[in-house]
Structure 1
Amino acid sequence: MKTNDPLSDLEKKELLRKYLSNTCSAQELELVFLILENVDDKHFLEEVAEELWQKGDKEIKLEAAHKEALKQGILRKIPESSRRKETKQLDLSNSFQAYYKVAALVILTVGLGLAYLKVDKKQSTNKQIQREAQWITKYTHAGEKLTVKLPDSTIVKLNAESSIAYRTDFNDSIRFIKIAGEAFFNVSHNKQKPFLVETDKITTRVLGTSFTVKSFADEATKVTVLTGKVGVAVNSGNTYFEAPKDIKNQAIVLLPSQQAVLVSDSILELKEINLDIETGWKDGNIRFDKTDLLTVKKVLERWYGISIQLNVQSPEKCLISSEYKNESLENILQSIGYILQLKYQFIDKKTIEITGNGC
């Protein structure tokens, strides 16, 4: 099959099948790009994907990095109103067959990875290296913390119920990390290789500095700078492999003791903050400053991996100002009980009840 020969539909289908089964040669991969860039009939691509799937081609497989990137791309195409429902369906699928069917259709109809995986035609001869790159994920459960040293010697401290993901080729050109939850980064300086941290809503860009990123689903997304300078920008539909090149122009710039808070889908607010309160967790410190009891409950549950039942009137009106350094849970509960005139008891090893008349 020569590059300049016109291809029949049958030949095109065979090429696409070989791509999905990771058996394309460099020349064939070039033809795949030509097909996708020039095809005018979207229904042809959908037909190919459906036909391949119906045949149950066992050679078709997706690698870990492809799966995660495709999932994010698919979710971005789902309307916001139905995203929760769709996400649940994807997450709860045991066989993942339905998910791969959607993924295969998405690959073909959006350009077989041109949109999600950003495979450059100029890199087609480096195809095997691209495929060998895998995603590495580190995570913590409630009550756990973890320190990770990245390939570039950057140190990451994960707070409880948090995770980071990075590729095995992390240090090759751009240093790129996905995060959920909360983490502290002490970034190894390298002005030739920017360091980008992406949550589902914002991206932070640095060259070498220390900062924290907080991105829990039920809390406002925040970036806090301890040393150096960082840029923070709201995401605009970029995928894993589309780290924003112009983030320096889009971003608000943060200096030490400053924090960016995402107050809406597109607005970042800059604040001056107390570093001990915002980042003390990385050193084993919990500090409350006029913090309401509902927030205290959430912090302790995540920190110690327990569940707290509040039987207190108007807990949002009960405010606590106190600091605890590597304290046991029981000592903190005793302190809170004394400050707010509340009582606590262990229902079992992981469940605590706090009672009182309120504040």
Structure 2
Amino acid sequence: MKDNMNQLPKSDNEVNELLNKFVSSTHSPQGSFTADKSFNTLQKKLHPAKYRLRPYQYISAAAAIILILGFSWMFYYNTQSVSIKTISTLAEIKKIKLPDGTQVVLDRYSSIQFPERFKEKIRDVKLSGEAYFEVTKNPAKPFIVETQSVNIQVLGTHFNVEAYKDDPSVTTTLLEGSVAVSNKKQNRRLILKPNETAIYNKLSATFTHLKKVDAEKDIVWSQGILLFNSVSMQEIALTLSHKFNVKIEIDNASLRNHKFTARFDNQENLYEILDLLKSTGNFSYQKVDNKIKIQLK
């Protein structure tokens, strides 16, 4: 054992000499294997060269990272809750701009609800009262106005909706574009063209389709004008009750059906309007609490 220990190489030179003797004793081609080459080969096996990315691989990796970040942001954006805004009016007309750029004119004593940002596949708003819409076009994201009884779906158009909670009907008048008006159960649907009106009767759940109407007259209210062109006193009373937030009752059937033609501006109050109407309508009125009672003289 001691003899074997004494025969072990004690320096690097002795190791190289021993390796060279071993190689020369084999049948390998001269110079194919040497101590230096064998050592270098061993080093490469133990420490492989670092992998280098080609330029196009850097671009692909960057694109993948961007896609991952993009999808992550979209997921985060669409899963975050969105607060709902409600805008209501009193005795004034208000102009509103929605998050998508849609312009809305909100009539007196009306309200509209909409999200701070439209994040779903549709742009959905809720209306109580009357409003005129100029919708920003976006075919990929339809615009829907929800009322208590009907929904109005559009892609980009100008239209007016009158949908007061206590009214027996909901009226939609189209100025430009195309809209689809349907009831909540989706079993009644009406497509409107410009200068057409859909009147939905809440009690009978039926639509009345009026063609060749003067749609411009239906939105003069947005300019602060009340226009009555051969309109019954019953309809005038209903309009005035919305504009001035007061209940108006007519106790005579013939007076309810009596028609008036008149024009009033935003500066005239309820009593000035009634005084002008009664001068030609042969009626009188009185206020009791928050109610106006109209009767024949």
Q: Give 2:242's aligned amino acid.
A: R
Which has the greater radius of gyration? 2
Aligned to 2:124: 176
Are residues 1:342 and 2:286 paired? no
Distance change >3 Å, CA 187–CA 331, structure 1 → 2: same
1:254/1:317 CA distance change after superposition, 3 Å: closer
What TM-score does the superposition give when structure 1 sets the normalisation length? 0.53
Partner of 2:46: none
The percent of aligned pairs where both chains have the same amino acid is 26
Which structure has more strand as a fraction of its residues? Answer: 2
The answer to whether the aligner puts 1:320 opposite 2:260 as a matched pair is yes
Could you tell me how far 1:335 is from its partner in structure 2? 1.8
1:166 to 1:351, Cα distance in 2 relative to 1, 3 A:
same
CA–CA distance in structure 1, aligned partners of residues 293 and 190 of structure 2: 43
What secondary structure, in the 3-state scheme, does the structure 1 residue paired with 2:113 have?
Answer: strand
Give the superposition deviation at 1:168: 2.4
Distance 2:133 2:152 in 1: 11
Separation in structure 2 between the aligned mates of residue 355 and residue 251 of structure 1, nearest angstrom: 40
**How many residues are matched?**
222
Counterpart amino acid of residue 283 in structure 1: Q
User: What residue is the counterpart of 1:234 in the other structure?
Assistant: 183
For residues 1-359 of structure 1, what are the structure 2 equivalents within 5 Å?
Answer: 126=75, 130-141=79-90, 143-170=91-118, 173-217=121-165, 218-236=167-185, 251-263=189-201, 266-272=205-211, 273-308=213-248, 310=250, 314-329=254-269, 330-344=271-285, 354-357=294-297
Q: Is the 8 A contact 2:255 2:296 kept in 1?
A: no
Gaps of 5+ in 1: 1-122, 238-246
SS of the aligned residue for 2:169 comes to coil
Shift of 1:327: 4.5
Q: Distance in 2 between matches of 1:158 and 1:304?
A: 14
Answer yes or no: is the 8 Å Cα contact 2:234–2:257 preserved in 1.
no
Output the amino acid matched with 1:189.
K
Q: What's the counterpart of residue 18 of structure 2?
A: none
Cα 1:346–1:339 change in 2 (3 A) is same
Contact 2:175 2:216 in 1 (8 A): no
CA separation in 1, counterparts of 2:129 and 2:106?
Answer: 8
Per-residue CA shift, 1:276-299, capped at 9, x if unaligned?
A: 443321122212233332332222
User: How many Å apart are 1:211 and its aligned residue?
Assistant: 0.3
Alpha-carbon distance, 1:131 to partner: 4.6
Cα pair 2:82 2:116 within 8 Å, conserved: yes
Q: Give the Å deviation of 1:311.
A: 6.4
Q: Distance in 1 between matches of 2:111 and 2:250?
A: 28
CA distance 1:323–1:171, change in 2 (3 Å)? farther
Return the offset for 1:172. 5.4
Provide the rounded CA distance (Å) in 2 between the counterparts of 1:336 and 1:294: 13
**Structure 2 residues without counterparts, runs of 5 or longer:** 1-71
Matched position secondary structure for 2:231 = strand
Larger helix proportion of the pair = 1
Provide Cα deviations, 1:147-180, integer angstroms capped at 9, x if missing partner: 1110111111112232211122325542111112
Aligned Cα RMSD in Å? 3.2
Cα drift, residue 128 of structure 1? 8.1
